[in-house]
Amino acid sequence: MRICIIGGGIVGTLIARQLGRFDIEVMLIEKEYDAGLGVSKANSAIIHAGYDDEPGTYRARFCSKGNMLYDELARQLDIEVVRVGSHVLAFNNEQRNVLNKLYQQGLNNNIRNLRILERDEILDMEPNINPDVVASLYAPSAGITEPWQICIAATENAAANGVEFHFNEEVIDIDAQGNKIRRVITDKHEYQVDYVINAAGLYADRIANMAKDVAIPIHPRIGEYILLNKFTTADLIHSIIFPTPSKMGKGILVIPTVDKGILLGPTSSDLNYRLKDLRATSSEGLEQIVENAKKLIPGIDIKETVKTFAGCRPETSQKDFYLGASRKIYGFFNVAGMRSPGLTAAPAIAQWTCEELQKTYNLKFNLKKDYNPYRKKIFHYYNNISLEDYDKEIQRYPEAGRFVCVCNKITEKEVIEAIKRGATTLDAIKFRTRAMFGECQGGFCTHKILQILSRELGFPLEKIVYNNAKSYVVDGKVRK
């Protein structure tokens, strides 16, 4: 029996890890060079508390559970999850009423330690919040993380437990003759499989079409973001700051990042389904972010911007996840429509998927004897090791004393380790090590990383790309 997961985002990789516990054959196919490059890469990176999901939805069912699973996940996968807490701010009585409703809904969803705070207490905790604030809904269990790190960590751990990964390989057809999953056909190979888990994010509808399943009603919703320089803005806020939600959604937030920067956004605009590859920012969007973020934190200085970006998330007409076994195609299982709070819910959905597969298809997965739930992250030397120990480490590994990224203080050892673990592109190095992620955005280190990638992989410089095949960096030699 063979299970094929299509899509290497947060749900795909976490399901792969979950299934990797068992004595079954599992493979994952991802069209990009790396895990987590789609929806998982560009979002608010928040572990939501779970008070804003209406009862009866999949969101409510999986969000608070997923939130709780993150502590164990962080421990096992050695990823950063910081429970910074969140405030939803109210600036008038009407908004205060909304907070009260959210508070009640939070109680119903079993969210722990929720509190309504008054102005003075809020400003004691977060002095840079707009002093016109009257109340906030404070949720200490809300947290932040780096979603791409989770995808990378889950991939490494699943691979170590025997899951087979195929990156840079695109599914082009699914053979479901007789309404039963039989084969998955990619641009490179054909695989005999018994079950397909559709975790293809924005492209889950395309995969469902290939399998001749009923249509999945998703469309892209784009969100733009602004990232501020961590070295100059870090003290501005310490928790996640939301405006009072409206019909338009959660609104534009001010979010601390685990790397100590500040993220502003997202905007939210629904796009035609044909525009799912769009990742462009717009002048209106960026202006809207600045205007709204300043209403929450007036001291934001937009001149401290280091990067702007946009991400698309799959929105469904039901505003809920699209989960479960197809009723039409035997062996086709959807884990789609992972809109907000998809990141938070993902660990719970991965567990559920594993149980649901066994229930639906009458399977019994047996635990692997040598299953190892742990994975270690790439060790970052700067400020994480005593000078004595660091000196000893450099005597063993001289490359640990060679600094590549000067802003985030990343050594050549870290870059080489990322390459050993599968990084082949500049973004793959960036997302694994944070090199090129600092205030100079690669100004001082891109050429060094190009050289290291070229040397370690044996590629010429011209073959190295940022993230996808079209994003080449240099265009040939100046002199032969």
Partner 1 sequence: MNRLETDILVIGAGAAGMGAAICAANSGVSVIVVERNPDAGGILNQCIHNGFGLHYFKKEFTGPEFAYQLYSKTKESGIQFLFNHFLLQLDLKNKTAIFASEEGIKLIACKALIYTAGARERPFGSLLIPGDRVSGIFTAGVAQRLTNIENRLPGTKALILGSGDIGLIMARRLTLEGVEVVAVCERMPYPGGLARNIDQCLKDFGIPLLLSTTVTEVRGDGRLREVITSSLDENYNIIEGTQRSWSVDTLVLSVGLVPSTTPIMDYFSIDSKSRGVIVDNCMRTDKDWIFSAGNCVIIYDLVDYVTYQGEMAGRSAVNYIKNGNNPARYPIKKGNGVGVINCSYYVENSDLELYIRVNKPKEKAKLVVRSDNTIIYEGKPSAFIPSEMVRVKIKAEKIDDSFKKSSLVTEIIDL
Are the C-beta atoms of 254 and 238 separated by less than 8 Å?
no
Is 367 or 478 the residue whose CB approaches partner 1 more closely?
Answer: 478
Residue 318: both structure tokens together? 């039901």
Is 183 or 307 the residue whose CB approaches partner 1 more closely?
Answer: 307
Are the C-beta atoms of 286 and 226 separated by less than 8 Å?
yes
Is 208 or 254 the residue whose CB approaches partner 1 more closely?
Answer: 254
> Can you tell me the distance from the alpha carbon of 193 to that of 174, in angstroms, rounded to the nearest whole number?
10
> Can you tell me the distance from the alpha carbon of 179 to that of 197, in angstroms, rounded to the nearest whole number?
15
DSSP 8-state class, residue 20 = T
Is 43 or 198 the residue whose CB approaches partner 1 more closely?
Answer: 43
Beta bridge partners of 270: 221
459 is a contact residue toward partner 1 (CB under 8 A): no
Region 256-285 residues binding partner 1, contact defined as CB under 8 A: 277, 279-283, 285
- 402, 456, 459, 463: which one binds partner 1 (CB under 8 A): 402
Residue 390: both structure tokens together? 């660091």
Least distance between partner 1 and beta carbon 20 (Å):
32
Q: How many residues in total does the chain contain? A: 480
- 274, 327, 359, 470: which one binds partner 1 (CB under 8 A): 470
Is 172 or 280 the residue whose CB approaches partner 1 more closely?
Answer: 280
Region 7-46 residues binding partner 1, contact defined as CB under 8 A: none
- 307, 319, 421, 463: which one binds partner 1 (CB under 8 A): 307
Which region, judged by CB under 8 A, interacts with partner 1, from 120-128, 172-180, 350-358, 386-394? 386-394
Residue with tokens 């992620």: 437
Least distance between partner 1 and beta carbon 473 (Å):
6
What Cα–Cα distance (Å) separates residue 193 from each residue in 35, 207, 463? 22, 15, 34
107 is a contact residue toward partner 1 (CB under 8 A): no
Pairing mode of beta strands 240-242, 218-228: unpaired
- 390, 421, 456, 459: which one binds partner 1 (CB under 8 A): 390
190 is a contact residue toward partner 1 (CB under 8 A): no
Question: Read out DSSP for 99-117?
Answer: HHHHHHHHHHTT-TT-EEE
Are the C-beta atoms of 375 and 357 separated by less than 8 Å?
no
H or E element that contains 343:
helix 342-360
291 is a contact residue toward partner 1 (CB under 8 A): no
- 128, 308, 351, 360: which one binds partner 1 (CB under 8 A): 308
Is 98 or 290 the residue whose CB approaches partner 1 more closely?
Answer: 290
Least distance between partner 1 and beta carbon 44 (Å):
18
Residue 211: both structure tokens together? 């399998």
- 25, 71, 164, 399: which one binds partner 1 (CB under 8 A): 399
Are the C-beta atoms of 7 and 200 separated by less than 8 Å?
yes
Size of the site for partner 1 (CB under 8 A): 63
Least distance between partner 1 and beta carbon 384 (Å):
12
Which region, judged by CB under 8 A, interacts with partner 1, from 115-123, 170-178, 209-217, 304-312? 304-312
Q: Each residue of 322-338: b (16+ CB within 10 Å) or e?
A: bbebbeebbbbbbbbbb
Write the interaction track for partner 1 spanning residues 407-446; mark x where CB under 8 A is met and - where it is not.
Answer: x-x-----------------------------xxxxxx-x
**Known active-site residue 447:** no
Which region, judged by CB under 8 A, interacts with partner 1, from 57-65, 223-231, 344-352, 370-378? 223-231
Neighbouring residues of 379: CB distance < 8 A, sequence distance ≥ 6: 414, 417
384 is a contact residue toward partner 1 (CB under 8 A): no
> Can you tell me the distance from the alpha carbon of 175 to that of 63, in angstroms, rounded to the nearest whole number?
34
- 91, 273, 309, 330: which one binds partner 1 (CB under 8 A): 309
Neighbouring residues of 477: CB distance < 8 A, sequence distance ≥ 6: none
- 47, 114, 184, 227: which one binds partner 1 (CB under 8 A): 227
> Can you tell me the distance from the alpha carbon of 346 to that of 8, in angstroms, rounded to the nearest whole number?
13
Alpha helices for 44-92 (secondary structure H): 58-77
> Can you tell me the distance from the alpha carbon of 264 to that of 401, in angstroms, rounded to the nearest whole number?
35
Residues that bind partner 1 (CB under 8 A): 226-227, 231-232, 277, 279-283, 285-286, 302-303, 305-310, 381-382, 387-388, 390-391, 394-395, 398-399, 401-403, 406-407, 409, 439-444, 446-447, 450-451, 461-462, 465-479
Known catalytic residues?
48
